[in-house]
Amino acid sequence: MTNTSVANTDKYELVVGLEVHAQLSTASKIFSADSSAFGGKPNTHISPISLGHPGTLPRINRKVIEYAVKLGLAVDSQINLHNHFSRKNYFYADLPKGYQISQDTQPICIGGSVEVHLKSGETKSIAIHHIHMEEDAGKSMHDQHTTESFIDLNRAGVPLLEIVSEPDIRSAEEAHQYLTEIRRLVRFLDICDGNMEEGSLRCDANISVRLKGAEKLGNRCEVKNLNSFRNVQRAIEHEFARQVEVLEAGGHIDQNTLNFDADTGETSVLRSKEMANDYRYFPDPDLPPVVLTEDYVQKVRAMMPELPKALYHKYINELGLSVYDASVITADKDVAHYFAELIKLTSNYKGAANWLMGSVKSYLNDHSISINDFSLEPARLAGLIALVDSGKVSSSVAAHKIFPVLCKDVTKTATKIAEELNLLIEEGGTDVSGFIRETLAKHPDKVNEYHKGKKGVLGLFMGEIMKLSKGKIDPKKTNQLLMEILESSK
């Protein structure tokens, strides 16, 4: 789309702020008892309140406040104890009342930050401006009929938390990692399922550019309703190139609201950008202030689980896991919970992580199931780890012969399976040297290669020896004896 040169692009700095809308996993809507479940038939989760009938009065859902406080505490926000709701006035066909109930000057969470980890190894803190509570609008559908649009108001009144970042993001990668952390947080807190495909997590990106070193921000364009991490990245990359091209041609960036076309990867003007005064905010006269206490905030804090940021640093600094393992385990709340239960039963933390990242992950992928549906509970996996650590079976035998049976038969332990299949290594009960000499005699050419410095043939020898012994040998001791015999045969 653009002929902007790399040299010209390098003169500019990208500046991005994200507005993330998290749909809360409450049973009912924010101001009524209507169901907030996804997937109902159109216009079935409604009532006079959702439809905005005259004379109806909203009433706050207490769970929404609790969930907002949880998220605020998770990102180290200051919790505002005195909350007010405001009416945000604008007309959309799927907004029945003609206004949205939101928060303006007194949002429930102020400040805070989210830590992101970049491919370069750098860790960066993205500041949060505020988090506020509001209701969602309905849904307009323009592809159901050739001449008419349809309105589904099931979503009208569903509770949202809008997380507004500071303009701290400087690359599409940072934006992706920030969204990843937000989704991870809301899932750990169990306040939102984070499903972007169902609209549970939606993102608007405010994008501008400025010359490197400049302090003043450029005019921003807001790209609305981005529904995937990939599209957020694509929209940011496209807008950066487009805005640089406009400025380099001597043009001016108009402050517009943009639409992103996922098919072409390009943006187009949706409407002129509204300013805050366009919405004519004023306090909602039907909703009293929400006054919280410090005691309430601390009670909410006490209900919170250990968060991914804390677990990530704990796994690396205390358990000695790699950055990769810590990242993958904390990426999913259920996987992290399984691992937490597993390491209560074994002190071999690295071994536990290896099993989770290896055999367990492969099994889940092969059977298209989540770890919640996994038949092998942590206690029996810990037993398998202990069996390997004791030297009674090799890790290869454990993975290929015992693990599959453990997953199928929930009544048996790893030790029981090893005994039944005659897989236990018996100290001194196997003539390992005989297997070694038989293997070396079979491959004299490879023995010569070893003596000439080609140490890679050790793997071939060990594979042959393991086959001959049917895995009933200690790999470490066998490898040591193999090297001793090879050295003595020079």
Which is nearest to 395 in space by CA: 369, 371, 372, 425?
A: 425
Contact partners, residue 131, CB within 8 Å, separation at least 6:
68, 71, 72, 75, 77, 107, 108, 109, 112, 161, 162, 163, 164
At 488 the pLDDT is 66
Tell me whether residue 191 is in a domain. yes
Tell me whether residue 455 is in a domain. yes
At 489 the pLDDT is 66
Determine what percent of the chain falls in helix, strand and coil, rounding each to the nearest 5.
40, 20, 40
For residue 89, the SS3 value is: strand
Q: In terms of domains, do 245 and 336 share one?
A: no
Tokens of residue 139, six digits: 């849904």
pLDDT tens string 93-119: 888 899 999 999 999 999 999 999 999
Q: In terms of domains, do 156 and 282 share one?
A: yes
Residue after which a domain boundary falls, among 257, 273, 295: 295
Tell me whether residue 457 is in a domain. yes
Q: Looking at the predicted structure, is the pLDDT value of residue 275 above 70?
A: no
At 393 the pLDDT is 84
| Amino acid identity for residue 281 in this structure | Y
- Per the structure, the count of domains in the chain is 3
Strand partners, 21: 162, 202
Tell me whether residue 15 is in a domain. yes
* CA 371/CA 331 separation, integer angstroms: 13
Contact partners, residue 30, CB within 8 Å, separation at least 6:
24, 60, 61, 64, 101, 133, 134, 135, 157, 158, 159, 160
Tokens of residue 146, six digits: 């050739």
At 192 the pLDDT is 96
Over the Cα atoms of the chain, what is R_g? 30
Q: In terms of domains, do 223 and 200 share one?
A: yes
At 4 the pLDDT is 53
pLDDT tens string 115-169: 999 999 899 999 999 999 999 999 988 888 889 999 999 999 999 999 999 999 9
Q: Looking at the predicted structure, is the pLDDT value of residue 257 above 60?
A: yes
| Amino acid identity for residue 19 in this structure | E
Answer whether 292's CB lies under 8 Å from 69's CB: yes
At 490 the pLDDT is 65
Q: Looking at the predicted structure, is the pLDDT value of residue 65 above 90?
A: yes
Instruction: Give the mean model confidence (pLDDT) for residues 316-342.
Output: 94
Provide the CATH number for the domain around residue 443: 1.10.10.410
* CA 204/CA 160 separation, integer angstroms: 14
At 107 the pLDDT is 96
pLDDT tens string 189-202: 999 999 887 889 99
Q: Looking at the predicted structure, is the pLDDT value of residue 430 above 60?
A: no
Q: In terms of domains, do 176 and 54 share one?
A: yes
Q: In terms of domains, do 284 and 360 share one?
A: no
Residue after which a domain boundary falls, among 360, 394, 420: 420
Q: In terms of domains, do 257 and 358 share one?
A: no
Residue after which a domain boundary falls, among 387, 420, 453: 420
Tell me whether residue 300 is in a domain. no
For 437: left if phi > 0, alpha if psi spans -120 to 50, otherwise beta; the answer is alpha
Instruction: Give the mean model confidence (pLDDT) for residues 431-448.
Output: 80
* CA 337/CA 88 separation, integer angstroms: 41
Q: In terms of domains, do 181 and 310 share one?
A: no
* CA 182/CA 196 separation, integer angstroms: 12
pLDDT tens string 401-414: 999 999 999 999 99
DSSP-derived secondary structure letter, 254: -
Tell me whether residue 410 is in a domain. yes
Q: Output 211 or 432, whichever has higher pLDDT.
A: 211
Q: Look up tokens 């996996």; give the residue.
A: 381
Q: In terms of domains, do 122 and 204 share one?
A: yes
Q: In terms of domains, do 223 and 314 share one?
A: no
pLDDT tens string 353-390: 999 999 999 999 999 999 999 999 999 999 999 998 88
Domain region containing 412: 306-420
Q: In terms of domains, do 281 and 150 share one?
A: yes
Question: Burial of 255 by CB count in 10 Å (0-12 exposed, 13-18 middle, 19+ buried)?
Answer: middle
Q: Output 427 or 284, whichever has higher pLDDT.
A: 284
Residue 168 phi, psi (nearest 5): -100, -5
Tell me whether residue 426 is in a domain. no
* CA 43/CA 395 separation, integer angstroms: 57
* CA 287/CA 49 separation, integer angstroms: 13
In percent, how much of the chain has pLDDT > 90?
70
At 426 the pLDDT is 64
Q: In terms of domains, do 124 and 195 share one?
A: yes
Q: Looking at the predicted structure, is the pLDDT value of residue 258 above 60?
A: yes
pLDDT tens string 380-398: 999 999 998 888 888 888 9
Tell me whether residue 427 is in a domain. no
Task: Give the CA distances from residue 296 to residues 21, 109, 387, in Å, rounded to whole numbers and listed in that order.
Answer: 25, 15, 48
Give me the sign of the Cα torsion angle 23, 27, 32, 34. Answer: positive
Q: In terms of domains, do 291 and 341 share one?
A: no
At 5 the pLDDT is 58
